[in-house]
Amino acid sequence: MTTRTTTGTSALKRLARGLLIGTAAALSFAGAALADGELNVFNWGEYINPEVLKAFEAETGIKVNLSTYSSNEEMLAKVQGGATGYDIVFPSVWMQDIMAKLDLLEKTDINQYEGFKNIDPNFLRAKSDPKGEYCLPYAWGTVGIVYNKKVLGKDITGWKDLLATVKEKGLKIGLLDDMREVISVGLILNGKSVNTTDPNDLAQAADTVIAMKPDVAAFSYDTRPMVMAGELAAAHAFVGAMIDVFANPELEGYVIPEEGATMYQEDICVLKTSPNKENAKKFLEFYTKPEIVALNIAQQTNGTANVPARTMTPPQIAQSQEINPPEDVMKRLQIFEDLGQAVRLYDRTWTKIKTAE
């Protein structure tokens, strides 16, 4: 996965700007005590609204430097490889657990801060941090299907509906170029856990995905423009695709498959090697503010663990069941866990899928 989202439409940008004006009025910039130093943020590409960082700088006087990565593995390699200067990172929950085992994360006691009351405890998902003593839930979303209504001639309900329709009409789809996400489609369609380590489950999942390959035009992270253009009928996609749906509601749709789906969640963590630990903790505290989280969501179209922020976002986001799924849909979602040495089974399964004719 290269990014969790992409640049928003002009309409969403206008909504974000409107939220920023309200946020700026709500924050007491004039009374903010200036703080010496910097904050070095290491995040996924395009995974935070730049206005959030500007608001933090304005309130605290702390200069923010942003660097980006394209995968959990890249981030971990840089941190372990001796890259110095990074203060905060945004690992997926399963990577947070790996980093905790490696003793890379600073205990922040963010759960003792007054703003932590805004956090839905259901999103304290890291096994290594069940109380939120180290990291702060940042954002989450689903991985579903974005589709072209005109090409398909209908709305779809899930993978089986989509596959039957494309076969009937001779259409093509796209899958993510992502080992665990693609294998998970096969696992979910066979009623299995996306964290299984049973070789038989993985063999069955591989057969399911290989059977789809005649209808798959590409394994790629960049299929959304192809769906918009009608070159593909549909594509496996992160919920950030809702940006396209909001811009073209008559043309496109996004569905969380009725068979089930995966979800992702990233948390904000302070590195043990952080040279600016106090500034890093101030950012975690800053990001418990509902108006700041809402400002971020207006541009990102992700879900949030910050309960008050959910009602402060633009109406089309607040009311979207794709971004804020109801409880019955949440029960169908699965989140990745650290597989340990069993990841080798997935590597072999992925090779089998990609090389199958």
Note whether 91 and 161 are same-domain residues: no
Note whether 244 and 283 are same-domain residues: no
Report pTM.
Answer: 0.83
Q: How many CA atoms lie within 13 A of 18 on its CB side?
A: 11
pLDDT band at 304; cut points 50, 70, 90? very high
Measured between alpha carbons, how far is 102 from 240 in angstroms, rounded to an integer?
31
Query: Is residue 48 in some structural domain?
Result: yes
Query: Is residue 19 in some structural domain?
Result: no
Measured between alpha carbons, how far is 16 from 36 in angstroms, rounded to an integer?
29
Mean pLDDT of 302-310: 96
Per DSSP, the three-state class of 303 is strand
Query: Is residue 22 in some structural domain?
Result: no
Above 60 in pLDDT, residue 34? no
Residue-number span of the structural domain to which 170 is assigned? 141-263+334-355
Per DSSP, the three-state class of 298 is helix
pLDDT at residue 182, rounded to an integer: 96
Query: Is residue 116 in some structural domain?
Result: yes
Note whether 247 and 164 are same-domain residues: yes
Query: Is residue 118 in some structural domain?
Result: yes
Query: Is residue 23 in some structural domain?
Result: no
Percent of the chain with pLDDT over 90: 85
pLDDT band at 40; cut points 50, 70, 90? very high
Work out how many domains the chain is built from and give that number: 2
Note whether 348 and 222 are same-domain residues: yes
Per DSSP, the three-state class of 342 is helix
Note whether 268 and 131 are same-domain residues: yes
Note whether 216 and 340 are same-domain residues: yes
- Which amino acid is it at 132? G
Which residues lie closer than 8 Å to 179 by C-beta, 6 or more apart?
Answer: 346, 347, 350
Query: Is residue 206 in some structural domain?
Result: yes
Note whether 109 and 163 are same-domain residues: no
Note whether 78 and 217 are same-domain residues: no
Note whether 86 and 193 are same-domain residues: no
Above 80 in pLDDT, residue 16? no
Mean pLDDT of 133-151: 98
CATH (domain of 257): 3.40.190.10
* CA-wise closest residue to 270 among 117, 133, 81, 94: 133
pLDDT at residue 84, rounded to an integer: 81
Note whether 163 and 210 are same-domain residues: yes
Above 80 in pLDDT, residue 27? no
**Burial group, residue 327, by CB count within 10 angstroms (0-12, 13-18, 19+):** exposed
Angle, CA of 178, 182 and 187, to the nearest 5°: 145
Measured between alpha carbons, how far is 126 from 98 in angstroms, rounded to an integer?
10
Query: Is residue 69 in some structural domain?
Result: yes
pLDDT band at 36; cut points 50, 70, 90? low
Note whether 132 and 145 are same-domain residues: no
Integer angstrom CA distances of residue 136 from 96, 176, 227, 265, 270: 11, 28, 35, 11, 10
Note whether 229 and 91 are same-domain residues: no
Least confident of 76-85, 161-170, 328-337: 76-85
Above 50 in pLDDT, residue 7? no
pLDDT in tens, 67-99: 999 889 899 999 999 888 999 999 999 999 999
Mean pLDDT of 172-188: 96
